[in-house]
Amino acid sequence: MTFPDLDAPVSPLRQRLIDDMNMRRFSRETQRNYLRDIGRLAAFLGRSPDTATADDLRRFQIEQQEDGVPVPTANSIVSALRFLFIHTLDRPDLARRLVRLAHRRNLPVVLSRDEVARLLNATTCLKHQAALSVAYGAGLRVAEVSMLKVADVDSERMLLRVERGKGGRCRNAMLSEDLLTLLREWWKVGRQQGVMHRDGWLFPGQHAMKPISTRQLYRIVVEAARAAEITKRVGPHTLRHSFATHLLEDGTDIRIIQVLLGHAKLNNTALYAKVATRTVRTVTSPLDKLGLFRPTEISPGG
């Protein structure tokens, strides 16, 4: 038994799994990832994953390590399988057999403010500039940018409603005056082009009835960075990293940044303190306060 894409023929187990994910408002991308990762176990077993035993799960994870599956990928598979066994199959005993692996997190790549400005100005059309400006100006994930609808822009409360966030969580993101001005400009142009509708996507894809894809947004960022002569390895998430880091450098409370980013754990937000160089530069070292190595003034008669 395999777990193909969301539009494939539905088995009873697969349908129950999709229903459980829909009930928790998981995004389409998250659902596709969970189905793919559960399909890995099904392929390993050669049968339906609801027949798995504790020993099957142990052998499956050992084989993954031996095959060199990266730690983040292995942990994503664990998340998908835990959801299956806890929520769909009501087998928490099996979920406890799945082992998450510790891994060293690399520091995120962050652009300077000048680099962000160059990147946004290097986009080739207003839609692309507006989409990347939302990623940076509101700190949204690439999937969240893709799934925004026109109705999610709340100009009265100056908020962006993110109803398809990670893990199906909803939140309000900030909407600045400049970003609202840009989105209104894009609305006018999009209406003239016939691709924007009041009940439609904020950033339509090649077909107006579908949103822009995350893959296309990735290509847009890479091409804009290349045009702006930015040598750092840049992706859509780089703009979200830069948003959080720049807020922290400006003195915004880290718990506020946590809420704006939609982080469930403060530890995830605290990572940005390690790359907030402006914050580091504003701190006076206790060594400097000793005054031991300051050049002494020489008196005129000395």
Token digits of residue 177: 């005056």
Claim to verify: residue 22 and residue 134 sit in the same structural domain: no
pLDDT tens digits, 233-245: 999 999 999 988 8
- Residues 6+ positions from 206 with CB-CB distance below 8 Å: none
Give me the catalytic one of 36, 197, 237, 278.
237
Give me the catalytic one of 127, 166, 241, 246.
166
Average pLDDT over residues 148-157: 94
Give me the catalytic one of 141, 164, 241, 246.
141
68 occurs within a structural domain:
yes
Claim to verify: residue 241 and residue 118 sit in the same structural domain: yes
Question: Quick one: pLDDT band at residue 167, thresholds 50, 70, 90?
Answer: low
Average pLDDT over residues 273-296: 63
Token digits of residue 68: 């060199």
Claim to verify: residue 39 and residue 141 sit in the same structural domain: no
Concerning whether 166 is annotated as a catalytic residue, the answer is yes
The domain of 31 spans: 12-95
Claim to verify: residue 205 and residue 250 sit in the same structural domain: yes
291 occurs within a structural domain:
no
Claim to verify: residue 149 and residue 200 sit in the same structural domain: yes
Give me the catalytic one of 14, 240, 241, 246.
240
245 occurs within a structural domain:
yes
In this prediction, residue 172 carries a pLDDT of 86
Give me the catalytic one of 14, 127, 128, 272.
272
pLDDT over 90 for what percent of the chain? Answer: 56
Q: In this structure, what CATH number is given to the domain that contains residue 127?
A: 1.10.443.10
In this prediction, residue 251 carries a pLDDT of 82
Claim to verify: residue 88 and residue 188 sit in the same structural domain: no
Give per-residue burial for 83-122: e unless 16+ CB within 10 Å, then b.
bbbbbbbebeebbebbeeeeeeeeebebbeeebbebbbeb
228 occurs within a structural domain:
yes
Claim to verify: residue 131 and residue 242 sit in the same structural domain: yes
Claim to verify: residue 135 and residue 39 sit in the same structural domain: no
Claim to verify: residue 277 and residue 189 sit in the same structural domain: yes
Question: Quick one: pLDDT band at residue 227, thresholds 50, 70, 90?
Answer: very high
Residue type at 205 in one-letter notation: G
Claim to verify: residue 216 and residue 242 sit in the same structural domain: yes
pLDDT tens digits, 62-74: 999 999 888 889 9
Concerning whether 241 is annotated as a catalytic residue, the answer is no
Instruction: State how many domains the chain has.
Output: 2
Concerning whether 255 is annotated as a catalytic residue, the answer is no
Ramachandran angles phi, psi of 2, nearest 5°: -120, 165
Q: Is the pLDDT of residue 60 over 90?
A: yes
Claim to verify: residue 176 and residue 259 sit in the same structural domain: yes
Q: Is the pLDDT of residue 123 over 90?
A: yes
In this prediction, residue 219 carries a pLDDT of 96
In this prediction, residue 298 carries a pLDDT of 54
Give me the catalytic one of 40, 127, 246, 263.
263
Concerning whether 272 is annotated as a catalytic residue, the answer is yes
Claim to verify: residue 81 and residue 184 sit in the same structural domain: no
Concerning whether 36 is annotated as a catalytic residue, the answer is no
Concerning whether 237 is annotated as a catalytic residue, the answer is yes
